[in-house]
Structure 1
Amino acid sequence: MKKSPCFLTAIVALTVTIASCSKDEAIVNDKMPAATTVAEAAITGNVTYTLVKSATPTATEQAAYDLITTAMDTAVKYMNAYTTFTKSITVTYVPSVATADGNINGSIRFGSNTYYMNAATALHEIAHTVGVGTSSVWWNTLIVSGIYTGPVATQILRTITGDSTAQIHGDSQHFWPYGFNYPSEFSSYHDYIYHCNILEGMKQDGL
């Protein structure tokens, strides 16, 4: 689909504003920065989730539910502030799952390893529910020989990094940078925004 120059300008203007913030700047108490441009303020998503819980949870289950709720609440907050995706997600706690996983059918499962019960992992799995590594357009069009081919998300990365030759890399399941393939990739709350900016660009690229 051909994108209009006005739309591309709005997307790039949004990321220029975000990229102007220091990546190392901490946002106290997970408070998102206020919208500073019309383009940024106009982005509103509708991502929701339901966490399936046991009627009589054990102490271990309740601890997991608490961590997962915090992770998903944060992830959904950023998705809805910085993308236009609409998705209804069902989240379950499945101890046998090694880490966590997400499916385009709208399901996310968290395993028993609490290291992965965080917002970065939640955002990563939400990305799977909207097509990253789970849709035919990802496999057949957007990723070619390990490189992401969509122009909008690519330009967003270049704006974020200040590198006019930067490329998004990917495989059959993941993308990087800012794909949160490991929780250790998170360094500041701006990374959540960059992740969502890139996802929004991928949506405009046809994801």
Structure 2
Amino acid sequence: MERKPRLLIAISLVMLLIAACKKTEDLPDLTSNNVASTSSEAAVTGNVTYTLVKSANPTSTEQAAYTLITAAMDSAVWYMNHYTTFTKALTVTYVPSVSTADGNINGSIRFGSNTYYMNLATALHEIAHTVGVGTSSVWWNTLIVSGVYTGSYATQKLRTLTGNATAVLYGDSQHFWPFGLNYPTEVTSVYDYIYHCEILEAMQLDGL
């Protein structure tokens, strides 16, 4: 008589495992900068594009950098276009003298020679600068007050994502946290990329 309950429990566990695997398959692979076009059913809602400026006759070092930057930017644009409604045309360059990477509200992104920063997290972080994080007057004068982000939409989004009804977004003249992707080491799962984009989308509603 004990076999049937055990069998039902075993079947239930298998079904839960299959459901969990399917959920994971719907998301991009954290271990790769590349994002397969079939990795998620999320609709395309944004229109973020980029052009990588290349040397006419690149050196081996430049070509290696272009390969890494392209993978990072392809994935970053994928996330922005599936989880935000931003429209932005970006111009990306490889500038060895840049210490890490930087982004400007005029749409320019520069990657330096340190290949550690040629990754998805950094690319998304710099795109955030191009849409106003740390680069717009509304960021400096309205949204960040005494180190705290004051916009209601992004604050509520953070609270919804974390399940913490009192969670607060913090920021300075250039960055925000949590989920600001200020360092590549902050990333622990693909949800960090998604939450970053969803918070950016909420910031847009706040006037970013």
**1:83 aligned onto 2:84:** yes
Aligned position for 2:6: none
Which one-letter code corresponds to 1:111 in the other structure? Answer: G
Which one-letter code corresponds to 1:185 in the other structure? Answer: E
Aligned position for 1:95: 96
Rg larger in structure: 2
TM-aligned CA distance change 1:71 to 1:28, over 3 Å: closer
Q: Distance in 2 between matches of 1:91 and 1:188?
A: 26
Aligned-residue offset at 1:33: 3.4
Aligned position for 1:109: 110
Q: SS of the residue aligned with 1:64?
A: helix
Q: SS of the residue aligned with 2:199?
A: helix
Q: Distance in 1 between matches of 2:40 and 2:160?
A: 18
TM-aligned CA distance change 1:28 to 1:194, over 3 Å: closer
Q: Distance in 1 between matches of 2:41 and 2:179?
A: 21
Q: Distance in 1 between matches of 2:162 and 2:148?
A: 17
Show CA shifts across 1:53-99 (max 9, x none).
00100000000000000000000000000101010100000000000
Superposed structure 1 runs of 4+ greater than 3 Å apart: 25-33
Q: Distance in 2 between matches of 1:161 and 1:34?
A: 23
TM-score by length of 2: 0.82
| Unpaired segments ≥5 residues, structure 1 | 1-20, 36-40
**1:33 aligned onto 2:40:** yes
Show CA shifts across 1:145-169 (max 9, x none).
0000001111110011000000100
Aligned-residue offset at 1:188: 1.0
Which one-letter code corresponds to 1:159 in the other structure? Answer: T
Aligned-residue offset at 1:34: 2.3
**1:162 aligned onto 2:163:** yes
Q: Distance in 2 between matches of 1:44 and 1:136?
A: 26
Aligned-residue offset at 1:191: 1.0
Identity of aligned residues (%): 75
Q: How does 1:17-96 map to 2 (within 5 A)?
A: 27=27, 29=29, 30=35, 32-35=39-42, 41=43, 44-96=45-97
Aligned-pair Cα RMSD in Å: 1.7
Q: How does 1:139-150 map to 2 (within 5 A)?
A: 139-150=140-151
Whether the 8 Å contact between 2:154 and 2:200 is mirrored in structure 1 is yes
Which one-letter code corresponds to 1:126 in the other structure? Answer: I
Which one-letter code corresponds to 1:73 in the other structure? Answer: D
Q: Distance in 2 between matches of 1:34 and 1:44?
A: 12
Q: Distance in 2 between matches of 1:124 and 1:28?
A: 18
Show CA shifts across 1:164-187 (max 9, x none).
000100000000001010011111
Which one-letter code corresponds to 1:188 in the other structure? Answer: S
